[in-house]
Amino acid sequence: MSSITADTIPPNKGATNAAIMIAAPLVLLGVCLLSKMGIIVVPSGARGLIIAGLLISLFITGMPISIALGLSVLTFMFTMTDVPIVAVSLKLFTGIEKFEIMSIPFFILAGNFLTRGGVAKRMIYFATTLIGHWYGGLGLAGVVSCALFAAISGSSVATVVAIGSILLPAMVKQGYPKRFGAGVIATSGALGILFPPSINLVIYSVATSGMSVIGPDGRSVSSASIGQLFIAGIVPGICLATLLGAMTFYQAYKNDYPRMERASWGERGKAFLDSFWGLFLIVIVIGGIYAGLFTPTEAAAMAAVYAFFVSVFVYKDLKLSDVPTVLLNSAAMSAMILYIVTNAVLFSFLMVSEQIPQGMADWMSNQGFGIISFLLVCNLILLAAGNVMDPAAIVLIFAPILFPVAARLGVNPVHFGIMMAVNMEIGLCHPPVGLNLYVASGIAKMGISELTLAVLPWLLTMIGFLVVITYWPGLTLFFPRLLGM
C-alpha cells in the first residue's frame, strides 16, 4: 500500500483527517495545561493515558520520533509533576553519558567502512565457491554471505546494501527471476540484527540496564549485558540462516533454477584467504569481548579502526579522500540514533517515575497471565509496532515497558532481548516501513508491492522461527550457559 505514490492521491483528500491530526495533540496539550492551572482535575489513573494519547497523536503527525517523545515528556513533567523542568535538559545530556552507548557510533562507523570497502564482494565470492553448485546456488550464497556480513557489520540495512548491490545483478544475469533474488536478499539481510555485533542488541541492553526489576521469586533480576546478548545471538542467528537457506533451496529445487559449476578446493582456499581480512573482524569483536580483552565499546572502536585499515590499505577499494564522507555519514546516522536514545531515556524515566511497568506487571500477575500468553501479547505488540516504526525506536520505547513485566513473570532477560530482535527482523521485511524492502526495491528496481509478494515465503519462515524462539528459551540460552555466562 505504500507504493501508492503521492500523485495518485487527490490533492484535497483527507481534510478532516488532517484537521484531527493537528488538533488532537493540541487538545491533549490543552487538557494538561488546564489541569496544571487547576481548572480541571485529572484523576491520577488517567494521567498515563493522557500522556500515551499525546505521544501517539504526535507520532501520527509524522514528526520525528525523538521530537514526539521529547514533547510528551516535557508536557508531562511541566504539567503533572513537581520535577523541576530544568532536569529535562540536564537529562538530555546525562541520559547518554554511558560508555556502553558509545559502541553504537563505533559499530555504525565500522559498518560504513565495510560497506564501501570491498569486503562484501570477497565474502560473496567465498560463499559462492562453497555452495554455488547446489540448487539456487547464488541464492544460497546470498544467505551465507549475508550471514557473514551481518556478523561483522551490526546493521541489517548495511547488509542488504552491501550484499544485494553486488549479488542481485549477478543473479539476474545468471537467469534467476528478479523477485527470487530480491526476496532472498531482503530477508537474509535482516540477520544483521541477530548476529553479533548488533546495534539493536546494544540498544536493548542500554534501554534495560539500570532498571530495578523483580523476578517471580521476589529477588531482583539483573538486566542482560551486551556481551551476553551477543553470544546468545549466535545460535539463533545460525538457525535462522539455515532455515532461510533451506527455503531458498526448496524454491530453487522446485523451479529448477540454474546452478553454478562446482568450485575446486583450490579456488575455495584462495577465496577464503582473500576474504580472510574481513572474516577476521568476527574474531576481533566476538573473541575480544568474550575473552575479556575489550569492553564492547572498545571492541567496536577496534572494529572501526580495523575496518578503515582493511578498506583503505589492504583491499584499497576505499580511497583516503572518501574517508571524510564516510565519517560524516556515520556521524549523522549515529546522531539520529543517539538523539532518539536521549529522548527515549527521558521517556523511560517518566515511565519509571509513574510506575507504569510495575503497575502493568501487577495487573498481569493478578489477572493470572502466564508466560505463554504474555509472550504472545508481546509478539503481537512488537509486530504491530514493526509496521510503523523503526527498530531502534521500538526497542527503546517498548523494552523499558515490557522488560519489567517479563522479568516479573520469570522470562530470562537475554531470551527476551533475542526475541525482540527476531521481531525487529520481521518488521524490517514487511511493508509499510520495512526498511530492507525499500533498500532492496532500490537495488532491484522493483515496486514495493511486488517485492512484498516476493519475500513472502521467507517471511513466513521467519514468523515460524519467531514462534520457536519465543517458546523455546533453551535454544537461545544454551550457548551462553555452555560458555558459563
Partner 1 sequence: MFLRILDRLEEIIISLLIGGATVLIFVAVLHRYGSTVPFLFPYLHDIDMTWAQELCIYMFVWMAKFGAAYGVRQGVHVGVDVLVNRLGINHRFKVILFGLMAGAVFTGIIATLGASFVWDLSETDSRSNDLEAPKWIVYLAIPLGSGLMCFRFLQVAWTFWRTGDVPHASHHVDGIDEDVPALHPQGGLPAHQGIKA
Residues of span 78-107 touching partner 1 by CB under 8 A: 85-86, 88-90, 92-93, 96-99, 101-102, 105-106
> b/e map of 368-386 (b: 16 or more CB within 10 Å)?
ebeeeebbeebbeebbebb
How far is the C-alpha of 203 from the C-alpha of 197, rounded, in Å?
11
197 or 413, CB closer to partner 1?
A: 197
155 or 251, CB closer to partner 1?
A: 155
199 or 411, CB closer to partner 1?
A: 199
Tell me which residues in 198-257 interact with partner 1 (CB under 8 A): 198-200, 203
7 or 217, CB closer to partner 1?
A: 7
Least spacing, CB of residue 121 vs partner 1, in Å = 9
- The answer to whether the beta carbons of residues 156 and 421 sit under 8 Å apart is no
Tell me which residues in 16-55 interact with partner 1 (CB under 8 A): 17-18, 21-22, 25
* Residue 439 engages partner 1 in binding (rule: CB under 8 A): yes
* Residue 76 engages partner 1 in binding (rule: CB under 8 A): no
Least spacing, CB of residue 58 vs partner 1, in Å = 7
Of 417, 370, 28, the C-alpha closest to 222 is 417
* Residue 324 engages partner 1 in binding (rule: CB under 8 A): yes
Give SS3 for 204: helix
> b/e map of 260-293 (b: 16 or more CB within 10 Å)?
beebeeeeeeebeeebebbbebbebbbebbbeee
What element of type H or E holds 220? strand 220-221
How far is the C-alpha of 317 from the C-alpha of 296, rounded, in Å?
27
DSSP 8-class letter at 222? P
Least spacing, CB of residue 330 vs partner 1, in Å = 6
What element of type H or E holds 213? strand 213-214
Least spacing, CB of residue 408 vs partner 1, in Å = 27
- The answer to whether the beta carbons of residues 436 and 186 sit under 8 Å apart is yes
Least spacing, CB of residue 57 vs partner 1, in Å = 11
Among 216, 269, 432, 464, binds partner 1 (CB under 8 A): 432
Strands 220-221 and 213-214, how do they pair?
Answer: antiparallel
407 or 414, CB closer to partner 1?
A: 414
- The answer to whether the beta carbons of residues 412 and 473 sit under 8 Å apart is yes
Least spacing, CB of residue 371 vs partner 1, in Å = 27
> Looking at 126-134, 359-367, 389-397, 411-419, which segment touches partner 1 (CB under 8 A)?
389-397
* Residue 321 engages partner 1 in binding (rule: CB under 8 A): no
Give SS3 for 124: helix
Q: Dig out the grid coordinates for 418 from the structure.
A: 533475542
* Residue 188 engages partner 1 in binding (rule: CB under 8 A): no
* Residue 454 engages partner 1 in binding (rule: CB under 8 A): no
Least spacing, CB of residue 262 vs partner 1, in Å = 28
453 or 482, CB closer to partner 1?
A: 453
Among 352, 448, 463, 475, binds partner 1 (CB under 8 A): 448
Q: Dig out the grid coordinates for 247 from the structure.
A: 527455503
Cβ-in-10-Å burial (0-12, 13-18, 19+) of 450 comes to: middle
* Residue 285 engages partner 1 in binding (rule: CB under 8 A): no
* Residue 260 engages partner 1 in binding (rule: CB under 8 A): no
Give the number of other Cβ atoms within 10 Å of residue 255's Cβ.
12
How far is the C-alpha of 211 from the C-alpha of 66, rounded, in Å?
21
Cβ-proximal residues to 306 (8 Å cutoff; 6+ apart), any chain: 110, 281, 284
Binding mask 135-174 for partner 1 (x = CB under 8 A): ------------------xxxxxx--xx--xx--------
Say how many Å lie between the first and final Cα of the chain, rounded.
45
* Residue 423 engages partner 1 in binding (rule: CB under 8 A): no
Find cell 572518501 and name the residue.
Answer: 322
Cβ-proximal residues to 141 (8 Å cutoff; 6+ apart), any chain: 124, 127, 128, 130, 131, 132, 167
295 or 358, CB closer to partner 1?
A: 295
409 or 439, CB closer to partner 1?
A: 439
Least spacing, CB of residue 214 vs partner 1, in Å = 29
CA dist list (Å): 152 to 168, 280, 361:
21, 9, 37
* Residue 331 engages partner 1 in binding (rule: CB under 8 A): yes
Among 246, 273, 328, 483, binds partner 1 (CB under 8 A): 328
* Residue 467 engages partner 1 in binding (rule: CB under 8 A): no
247 or 428, CB closer to partner 1?
A: 428
Among 47, 116, 122, 430, binds partner 1 (CB under 8 A): 116
Least spacing, CB of residue 252 vs partner 1, in Å = 25
* Residue 65 engages partner 1 in binding (rule: CB under 8 A): yes
